[in-house]
Structure 1
Amino acid sequence: MKILDRYLLKTYLITFTSVFVILFFIFILQTVWLFISELAGKDLDLFMIIKFLLFASPKLVPMVLPLSVLLSSIMTFGDLAENYEFAAMKSAGISFQRTMKGLSIFIILLSFCAFFFANNVIPYAEYKFINFRKNIAQVKPALAIAEGQFSNIGNINIKVDKKTGEKGEFLENVTIHKKSNLGEGAKTVIKSKKGHLLSSEESNLLQLILIDGYYYEDITPKDYKDRPKMPFAKVYFKKYNINIDLSKLNSTEEDKSQITNTNNMLSLSELKYTADSLSTSYNKEVLSVSDNVYQRFGFNYNMAQFDSIKNTKTPELTSFLDNTLKSKILEIANSDALSSKQNLEMNEMTFLAKKKDINNHWLSMYEKFVIAYACLLMFFIGAPLGAIIRKGGLGLPIVFAMLIFITFHFLNTFGKKLAQESGTTPFMGAWISSMVLTPLAIYLTKKAINDNGDVNFDFISEPFRKLYDFFTKKLNNNNNTIQENGD
């Protein structure tokens, strides 16, 4: 390795490491904020918090790594240009593409590492992260209950004044609000002086034993006249057992159906196999439903038979029936059509959910390649941009980096959402951000190689300028015509 390559690589690595650590710390704080309800006030020791963040950290790399490459590239090359080091290199006969050669090799190696990380480390960490949150409740179920505040566990809100014992399994002054399955709010309130939590690592059930308390339940009378009286039942108990499903502990909306097998926990080969299996099953179900519809409505005639029947001059099938029978036949046909419509709507919702699941698997597959390409793309945007603007440090480079990365992230999120709803193919949804920004990388690199700092985007603004001039000229002509007519 030549002295120039060592110098550029050392300068870039120092900046890249600093930027990566800072950005990673910022995103870790965001993760802590998202899961603050699971960490705060639950007596978690330092080791468990570190383990929690350790499992949550790998999935932040696809966000942090491209942004770090972009910002460090702008800062490094901007600093070199600002200090006239590029001018010195050029006077010594060293071209801009030669200065990028050594760093380009490093970025390519970094891209391969990013792909390996996304294909192996992130799925494993995602699996451990979700199951770790579930295992917290199994090993120390009291951690799911905070003192002095209501904690939501499935359809139960529980509050305790104090927890004692080695694992906090002994509770004092327990208050429970049990939600109704009919969506009518909390119809049942349970209060007890003491409580005891029993759990096992081999079981998904948590047993809550309440001692010395009362059970209150609002009763909804069938007769509307009795409802203003607000009747309720009150029962005193010495001992009362409640079984709680641990799978509902520490869960969020996005964690449903993500405990054992999800697209975020699979490698490339596993995603390909699962996506193909889901697609085959989906196609079979679509054919099955369509066959059932055809058989139910009797669509067994081909078009030629239908045309021959339609063109035959025969009396109406219901001409020999009276009006009463005709009305009953129409009611039966209407009921059958309504039932079929509801059945098709339910099948449509099921198919949409399954299609979304298939699309998510394909998106996860393409995203592993997008992460690797994004590192390369951000380098070839940031390096020439830094050489063109000739500004280092944390001022202007951060502005450019944030604008470019926000555009990349917005297009990436938009493409994924569109692909999930089958608005476009998963390939286009995953790669749309890279396709939009690749011409920008080529344009800036060409400008930097040609040592042309006069960067303009007239090819984008020129059509809008011509359109504005056209309407302005037309408006002025109309005003002149009105004035002449008035004179």
Structure 2
Amino acid sequence: MLSILDKYILKRYLGSFALLLVLFLPIMVTVHIAEKVGKIISKDVPAGEVLWYLLDFTVYFSNFLFPLFLFISTMFFTSKLAMNTEVIAFLSSGVSFNRFLRPYIIGATLVCAFALIFSSVFVPKASSGFNEFQGKYFRSGNDMNTTNVFRQINDNENIYVSNYQPSSQTGFDFTLEHFDGIELKYKIYANRIQFRDSIYVLSGFKKRTLLEDGEIIERAQKKDTIFNFDIDELTPTDYIAETLQFSELNEFIELEEKRGNSSLNIYYVEKYKRTSIPVSAFIFTLIAVAVSSVKKRGGMGMNLAIGIVLAMTYVFLDKVFGTIAEKSTFNPWIAVWFPNIFFAIVAFFLIRNARR
């Protein structure tokens, strides 16, 4: 059963968090639309599409920012409790610091559970709408291009293109290798491959078939043919992992591993963030209470200043290690969870100090 203390703090905890979301999300949307309004007007985007885009934008970015909002809101209302000497009153009445933390832990559990459901159900759909709108109206064709794509399309065939343009469904320096076990049977080259009217058009075509006593070489300036792969799957966009449910994401990663995708870390980073971001609610809550429950000479402003520095440090580490993992062979699990592990250690020492 929740005591009066639990209900009082839990109400303030959840209420402050909800209030901060209501205040800051409209500001975030307004700033974003003000930045993009020129492109929206110049491309005559329908009002209905803009409204859906703004809704997707709000859902998409609130998923990343909610730990910071929670941290700042917890810092704010706990600092008010400390400034009004309410924390001292609680502890002086015989309530231990651990008991004082209980409603915060309950609140963090509720927020974490909601965040897990939110990121699994609503965020993938919002991410799809947000990125599709960005690609349709805000990104140039060159921004969507990918380079040096190698894919295993089945157990016997590999394909490669040096550059792929999704807007025109065109790839350059195309190669297809067909194996029988480990033995190469034939190899197809083309300066350009383009998907047109359900047919693949190969320019600068060359096929080299290997025989026991030699080889056969076929050449053609242009050749129409059919392959057993979809050109849109030649190289999936980087954000595709964000648009998938958790089970779908695991299946997608397994498929990409079989295809020999060299950019798997991008998808693993997204997978691990599905759980690391909600868990950060606990860590930020503990740090916020430890820092702001002590009445300081600088008052509430000092607590908020410390909180903002810690929050920005978390964002910095999250972005740096996430980028390192996506662009290198660095372990993606370590990259995603390092900020949480680091700040969990910080939270442990801050809580131990606050108990004194």
**1:377–1:441 CA contact under 8 A, matched in 2:** yes
Distance 1:154 1:68, change over 3 A: closer
Displacement after TM superposition at 1:49 (Å): 2.7
1:424 aligns with 2:298: no
Q: Quick check: which one's strand share is greater?
A: 2
Identity %: 22
1:103-148 Cα distance to aligned partner (Å, 9 max, x none): 21121121111112112211111122334567xx7xxxxxx7xxxx
Counterpart AA for 1:404: L
**2:80–2:300 CA contact under 8 A, matched in 1:** no
SS of corresponding position for 1:388: coil
How many aligned positions are there?
265
Which residue of the partner structure matches residue 60 of structure 1?
61
**1:24–1:64 CA contact under 8 A, matched in 2:** no
* Partner Cα distance (1:131, 1:446) in 2: 47
1:154-177 Cα distance to aligned partner (Å, 9 max, x none): 59xxxxxxxxxxxxxxxxxxxxxx
Counterpart AA for 2:106: I
Which residue of the partner structure matches residue 226 of structure 1?
none
Which residue of the partner structure matches residue 128 of structure 1?
129
Which residue of the partner structure matches residue 385 of structure 1?
291
Gaps of 5+ in 2: 143-195, 198-234
SS of corresponding position for 2:294: helix
RMSD over aligned CA atoms reads: 2.9
Corresponding residue to 2:243 among 265, 277, 289: 265
Which residue of the partner structure matches residue 406 of structure 1?
312
Which residue of the partner structure matches residue 252 of structure 2?
274
**1:77–1:392 CA contact under 8 A, matched in 2:** no
Distance 1:133 1:427, change over 3 A: closer
1:415 aligns with 2:330: no
**1:78–1:391 CA contact under 8 A, matched in 2:** no
**1:16–1:69 CA contact under 8 A, matched in 2:** yes
Which residue of the partner structure matches residue 342 of structure 1?
none
1:8 aligns with 2:9: yes
Gaps of 5+ in 1: 138-143, 145-150, 156-203, 206-255, 283-353, 451-487
Displacement after TM superposition at 1:85 (Å): 0.9
Which residue of the partner structure matches residue 22 of structure 1?
23
Corresponding residue to 1:366 among 251, 272, 284: 272
Q: What TM-score does the superposition give when structure 2 sets the normalisation length? A: 0.67
Displacement after TM superposition at 1:276 (Å): 1.9
SS of corresponding position for 1:262: helix
**Structure with bigger gyration radius:** 1
**1:70–1:379 CA contact under 8 A, matched in 2:** yes
Displacement after TM superposition at 1:379 (Å): 0.4
1:161-215 Cα distance to aligned partner (Å, 9 max, x none): xxxxxxxxxxxxxxxxxxxxxxxxxxxxxxxxxxxxxxxxxxx99xxxxxxxxxx
Distance 1:447 1:73, change over 3 A: same
1:277-314 Cα distance to aligned partner (Å, 9 max, x none): 222332xxxxxxxxxxxxxxxxxxxxxxxxxxxxxxxx
Equivalent positions of 1:327-476 (< 5 A) are 354-355=261-262, 357-390=263-296, 395-450=301-356
